Amino acid sequence: WARAVRGLLLDISGVLYDSGGDGGVPIAGSVDAVRRIKASGLKLRFCTNETQATREKFVKKLQGMGFDISVAEVTAPAPAACRILKEHSLRPHLLVHNDLVPEFAEIDKANPNCVVIGDAAENFTYANLNEAFRLLVGMEKPVLISLGRGRYYKETDGLKLDVGAYMKALEYACDVQAEVVGKPAKTFFESALAEMGVPPQQAIMIGDDIENDVGGAQQCGMRALQVRTGKYRSVHTLHPALRGKREIN
């Protein structure tokens, strides 16, 4: 089946680098791996749930680490969320990281009629979560848009709670189901595949997250590989999302 592969989808955090307060560090061999993939002629798309910075700022950081990457090669949740907001005339209350706010510069945010939640990090205070709760519970038809649903991720100083934990809290409190924009949403993977011009049967997703990367890609008809870096843990080999998965170092 490998001979039929024409495109690769690469996760970034935990696969190419480990983030951290100091900007993060590349994972050994990852810079060269990206170079070799591009030299091979395979089509490549970087698929990330990164929501702590704009794509421009995020890519600039990766370029500074030596990665051959451009903004045009990155599929991320915030631009996709902006398209949804515009299409449905939604005005968001943003519960996101301060560095991500510029992605929503062209979106009307007056008199919010929905809540958008991302990996807000230190902005996940009780007061901020309670404000989002009050807005949602006061809506006749509450709309919650989440920029991913990851449980946790790895930084240089250890594992950190991801947006999914806070999304679930709002879902429970407000009796609402969030619309997830980003991995593992099928539309997210389909968008990345369309941008590459490759059908799912001819693409492979490589990530460190057994549910959002591997499980999400498989639900879209792709094969997937989980690396033993980032958030990888040995217990993942017993995970129900595992189906015909190989692990690579």
Q: Which residues contact 106 (CB under 8 A, 6 or more apart)?
A: 82
For residues 11 and 210, give the distance between their C-alpha atoms in angstroms, rounded to a whole number. Answer: 12
Whole-number CA gyration radius for the chain: 18
The dihedral of CA 90, 95, 101, 103: what is its sign?
Answer: negative
Per-residue b or e along 132-159, where b marks 16 or more CB atoms closer than 10 Å to that residue's CB: bbebbeeeeebbbbbbbbbeebbbeeee
Please report the domains of the chain, with CATH numbers, ordered by start residue: 7-49+184-236 (3.40.50.1000), 88-180 (3.40.50.1000)
The dihedral of CA 244, 151, 184, 43: what is its sign?
Answer: negative
**Tens digits of residue pLDDT in 152-182:** 988 888 889 999 999 999 999 999 999 999 9
Residue with tokens 């421009």: 56
Q: Looking at 133-147, 172-186, 229-243, which range is the least confident one?
A: 229-243
**Tens digits of residue pLDDT in 181-194:** 999 999 999 999 99
For residues 119 and 170, give the distance between their C-alpha atoms in angstroms, rounded to a whole number. Answer: 14
Nearest to 7 by CA among 49, 37, 32: 37
**Is it the case that residue 249 has pLDDT exceeding 50?**
no
* Predicted pLDDT at 237: 54
Phi/psi region, residue 217 (left: phi>0; alpha: psi -120 to 50; beta: rest), is alpha
Stated pTM of the model: 0.85
* Predicted pLDDT at 239: 52
Give the three-state DSSP class for 88: coil
**Tens digits of residue pLDDT in 204-215:** 999 999 999 999
Confidence of residue 246 (pLDDT cuts 50, 70, 90): very low
Q: Do 214 and 205 meet the contact criterion of CB atoms below 8 Å apart?
A: yes
**Is it the case that residue 1 has pLDDT exceeding 80?**
no
Nearest to 40 by CA among 9, 8, 72: 8
Number of H helices, E strands in the chain: 7, 14
Residue 196's identity, in one-letter code, is M
Q: Which residues contact 41 (CB under 8 A, 6 or more apart)?
A: none
**Tens digits of residue pLDDT in 30-64:** 999 999 999 999 999 999 999 999 999 999 999 99
The maximal CA–CA distance of the chain, rounded, in angstroms, is 54
